[in-house]
Structure 1
Amino acid sequence: MLRLSIGNDKWTDEFETQIEELDITDLWTLQVNENNLENGGLKFERETFGSFRCSYCRHHWSSSVIHIRFLITLDRPCKRGIVNMKIAKQSCKMCNCGVMEKPQISDENIKIMIKNLVLKINRTFYEKEKDGRHLRSINYYNEPKGPHDKDHCEDCQEGHSYLEEPWYQDVSHHKETKSQQGLSTALTVAGVTVGLGALALACMAFSNPKNSSKK
């Protein structure tokens, strides 16, 4: 069953759960902002899937490009870290009322976004998990991906652009792909070896014909 969240508690609760798993002594908090983020700190930007419902005409739509921005700061002397987060809203293009609606994002995709955030924190501030891979959000919607509607996106209207870091399904998938590639190479080499052996035997048979039978 697909569980959707629209409030901020799920984000903060999930962040507290995952950040506590790190072997660190700094205290970290996540704050979800409705307004623009201030300058300063480490910027981390991602995109995820979600859905919207217009509060005016009740039109429902899904989006594969929901912008999420994080601004990360760590006060090392005070051993306190703060993450300010903003989720971009979208407006309805059916009634064009102009009201910016909050997205509904699945619990699983919230976990994925927070996992990517915690990985970024761990890698940047504590120099750990150098080989960690960012995960891609899950698309629960069967609608085909179309071009992003920039005219009805809050962040696009404010002039924000995104350059995401490369994503990977997970480490095990990455290793499995490499393993399959290695197996394919080994089979190719084995096939070439067998072919060369057969060719050598054929040449030997041709150069040493059997002696004719004695009368």
Structure 2
Amino acid sequence: MVLNIGMWEQTFQELIQEEKPWVHWTLKLDGKLQLDYLAKGWKQYQQRAFGWFRCSSCQRSWASAQVQILCHMYCEHCMSQGQVRMRLFAQRCQKCSRSQYEMPEFFPDSTMRILNNLVQHILKTYHGGSRRKFKEMPVLLEVPLEGSHDMANCEACALGYCMQALESCVTKPSKSPLFYLKIGRSSPQIGDVLYVQNQARNQLSEAKQAKWDGSEGSGTCCCQDPLICVFILLFLFFIIVKCFSLE
């Protein structure tokens, strides 16, 4: 299962020439590629895959469905030849205190999925697409995985490339429907108005319940006075109209 880049390049060329026999592309590994740092005329493609790792210190092996793959592509002006540089991001053993980054290995099915996705992207980007309809193949789990992605020992996460690491940094929006009042948003949204309407319904329901409870008990309730209820409804109606007028 050791990665054989020569076999990868041969399979890669065969897949392209099945669709475009006159086209010649090369594939090389490049461990120095950086996300969004492209030479003039180059384009970028990313995907993730299911891969295996083995620690060179303790010989422990583990699987991951978050193996990040970065490709930079360049096609000559004549469109008959091009080149791809590929970086496979490594992972470290979580059991060893001073473990080094280990390169991923792939079973044949995962290798074909990676290369097929890359070839179809190249055909779509540079050669007018494929003769057959093709949708990017998703990651398939070769074995059941437990727990979440080990971002602390993922090279792509450490460099800020891993999508899961980026998603974990996104701040969740406030749950308050009237959050725009706190941050100075210029106009209310539909959810804000619905919130005020719900508040009005709740106030009316509470007023009716208080009146009902007051009629049964010996105490008095301020909501027994219908004028107070009318005043509350008019006040809430004014808030709704004010919200719409701000749009």
The question of a shared fold, defined as TM-score above 0.5 by the shorter chain, is answered with yes
What is the aligned partner in structure 2 of residue 89 from structure 1?
A: 90
Residue number among 20, 25, 31 corresponding to 1:23 in the alignment: 20
Q: Distance in 1 between matches of 2:64 and 2:148?
A: 10
| Letter in structure 2 aligned against 1:36 | L
1:135 aligns with 2:137: yes
Please list every run of at least 4 consecutive aligned residues from structure 1 whose deviation after the TM superposition is greater than 3 angstroms. none
| Letter in structure 2 aligned against 1:13 | Q
Task: Report matched runs for 1:165-204 at 5 Å.
Answer: none
Conserved 8 A contact 1:5-1:107: no
Q: Which structure has the highest strand share of the two? A: 1
Conserved 8 A contact 1:71-1:83: yes
RMSD: 2.0
Q: Distance in 1 between matches of 2:54 and 2:28?
A: 24
| Letter in structure 2 aligned against 1:133 | K
Larger Rg: 2
Q: Distance in 1 between matches of 2:52 and 2:44?
A: 25
Per-residue CA distance 1:71-112 (angstroms, 9 max, x = gap): 111012473201100111101110132301011211111111
What is the aligned partner in structure 2 of residue 71 from structure 1?
A: 72
What is the aligned partner in structure 2 of residue 124 from structure 1?
A: 125
Q: Distance in 2 between matches of 1:78 and 1:128?
A: 13
For structure 1, the residue ranges without an aligned partner over 5 or more in a row are 164-215
Q: Distance in 2 between matches of 1:12 and 1:23?
A: 16
| Letter in structure 2 aligned against 1:32 | L
Task: Report matched runs for 1:25-44 at 5 Å.
Answer: 25-37=22-34, 39-40=38-39, 41-44=42-45
Query: Quick one: structure 1 residues 78 and 48, their matched pair in 2 at CA, closer, same or farther if it must change by over 3 Å?
Result: closer
Task: Report matched runs for 1:154-169 at 5 Å.
Answer: 154-162=155-163
Conserved 8 A contact 1:29-1:81: yes
For structure 2, the residue ranges without an aligned partner over 5 or more in a row are 165-247
TM-score relative to the length of structure 2: 0.59
Conserved 8 A contact 1:45-1:162: no
Using CA pairs below 8 Å that are at least 6 residues apart, which structure has the higher relative contact order? 1
Q: Distance in 2 between matches of 1:122 and 1:53?
A: 34
TM-score relative to the length of structure 1: 0.67
Conserved 8 A contact 1:45-1:67: yes
Conserved 8 A contact 1:113-1:137: no
- What percentage of aligned pairs have identical amino acids? 23
Q: Distance in 2 between matches of 1:83 and 1:162?
A: 22
Per-residue CA distance 1:146-181 (angstroms, 9 max, x = gap): 321121111111121439xxxxxxxxxxxxxxxxxx
